Structure 1
Amino acid sequence: MMTRVSVAVIVSAQLLCQVIFQLLLVRIVGVGSETDAYLASQAVPIAVTAILTTALQSVWLPRLATIDPGSNEWGAELAAAQGQSAILNAIVFAVVGATVDLWIPYLYPAFSSSQHSNVTEYTWLLLLTSATTTHSALLSVIMRSRERYIHNESITLCGLIGALLGSLIVLPAYGIFGAIALTLARSVLVLIAQSFFLRWPRLSVARAVAHRETWMMMRPLIFSGSIFKLSPVIDRFFAGLSPAGGLTTFVLAQTLVTPLVTLIDQSVCIPAITRITRHLKQDRKSGIFRLLRIEGSAITLSLLILALVALLFDGFITRVVIFALKLNSEQSKALTLIIAILLIYVAAVSVGRLTTSLYYAIGNTLFPSVVGISNFIVSIALKFVLFHAYGTVGLAIGVTAFPVLNVMTLLMSWGRSNEKTPD
């Protein structure tokens, strides 16, 4: 229990640092075409990081958790895991980086030529950050598999505090470019610190190539992730069609809300997933559903309360946002409403994390992938309709619909397949 609370406190401090960093950036640089270009350049690198991180973590966390750290197998598995991370990052960096000039004009047609030039430059640097962040996420899995949650989160927190302190000097002098450089430097330093703590684990490309079982397990995750985890790219495409500053307002709302997913994941979901795995191994299905009801209800209720508070105190929040971020009244009201809607998104994503773990624990990565792709297609249609009807607020509703549909589909399927199975 103390470990869970400690992790929650450390992750909360991480989120606070991230939010302050983004607020400083908006405060110093301002809201406009330059920040729109910066936030647009984040879309593809963020999607790449999400796709690779999900695949690597979903496959290697349960695998490493069952291996003795003192055995030869442990070292061999670490070498293979790191090798696979290196291979995936190298391929993605080469392919995406080589074609960046081709797809940016089509992805952001409403941008000016100078904005396209900025997006291209920023994307190259953020792809480097994506590679180091993805590999760092794999090292986090290694530490978590040994239940070293506090050590791992403390390293990340130190990196964020360093970047935040550096931003006070770098942002006024270098603006957007300084923000990107700080993010890259932080990810590299965190990766080095994790490697040092793990005593510089070996990386083997040869073992990675030969590790056919994990490649087979990652295949549906990478394929489906390449489709539905491109959601931020589509979101920013639509938001980029809104008036100047609309993209920044929408992404700012995501920045303020989405880090809650990390807090809930580290303090609630990961410990719960461990217990879910144990229940499955002991064939205790009633325990699984009881655990899902308790954790899922707590997550959903707490975030719905936050959304209600945001709507009830809309006027006060609007005044604070106008003062702190120099947004106009219309942008501030839109920001508050989008945040309230995205809190429901956070609840659905967190409950979905628990739900998909049921399938991953029994080695089924295919069915959640098929469900995700199907619901992703539905969500694109919803985003198109709702954005053209209600602007970025409608887009937020479409964004929220995707994880909600996933949770409902997966839970109903799991319930039907187990309702007649004896406990």
Structure 2
Amino acid sequence: MPSDPPALNRISVLGSTGSIGTSCLDVIEAHGSRLQATALTAHRSWEPLARQCQRTKPRFAVLADPATQKLIGGNAFPRETEVWFGPEGVERISSHPDVDTVVCGIVGAAGLRGAWAAIESGKRVAIANKETLVVAGPLVMNLAAKTGAPLIPVDSEHSAVFQAMLSGRRRDLKRIVLTASGGPFRGWSRDRLEQEATIARALAHPTWQMGPKITIDSATMMNKALEIIEARWLFDLDADQIAAVIHPQSIVHSFVEFLDGSVLAQLSPPDMKLPIQYALTYPERWAGTSPTMDWTRAHQLDFLPPDLDAFPALALGFEVAKRGGTCGAVLNAANEVAVQRFLDGSLKFTEIPQACGDILKGHNFDAQPSLAELLRLDDWARKEMQRWKSSLSN
């Protein structure tokens, strides 16, 4: 089990200008006597990063895109903050001796480098970047076992599973059930998605406020597919020990079912600050900054089976969780480019899982790849997705 957090928990927030990063800073500021933002990173959003640094006065800031160095004015960052440029800076602050905890909030496969450096140096890692485990789950978990780096999940679903599993013995677990809001197209048929799923509609998530990539993933249910793969490695489960259910209210964040039929769940209003705070304070629980359940009024909790015909991305998640090997790296890379093509208008919504499935089938599968092979296939899958021919080009 992870050790108690230090008296003053010095934190690196990777991807501090994203939705996870901004919520993380809210939590840190709410507990300023015990949590400290020591380092913040962004890719090229230097102005939001500079504003965050002016507010929190971290020791370090990193802009992973070195071209941003030419854009920044002399007084943008506070004097207390040392600013680094280039992707190697993310790795440096992830392994820095003056950092206790690394929050991995960089979206996509780009977050792997920082997470790997943090785990390699034995840091406490609050892992919000599901792609790290999707791409290289067995390698990441083996590295964490070797270095003793505690991995605490930040995704609300995996945090719920993590918390519920503390109440029972690991050998008594039967399966976990991840909940999904269903996104903006919940209840839509495949035919309706084919005709009416626009970019604007796909970005209008009914529950969560997230960046465009994760919002589109939620609409296709690829986000749940990636979470299934992540859970496979994070909790050392077989693929058939993982299920998914549609839960529109997003109050029950996941279930754990035990051999005797008991089911434990974690409930809270949808707000990412709660799982972020728990990852920073575990095993302690501090007074929260998130909304709490109002048990003086009536609540309705609905649970529906997912429609695999309308949302075939979910089936890809189960397939990849079962096969392992190189499949996660290929699916994730293909999906990242497919989402961007959809947002650019060169791919239909329903073609996202179709194209990802085609590229997954077409790759040379390796059951036990090296990290170098996974990175090579990540690049290969991205190029294949760029070449994939959409009906929009006819």
Which category of TM-score, normalised to the shorter sequence, fits these structures? under 0.3
TM-score between the two structures when normalised by the length of structure 1 = 0.26
Instruction: Specify which structure has the bigger relative contact order, considering alpha-carbon pairs within 8 angstroms and separated by 6 or more residues.
Output: 1
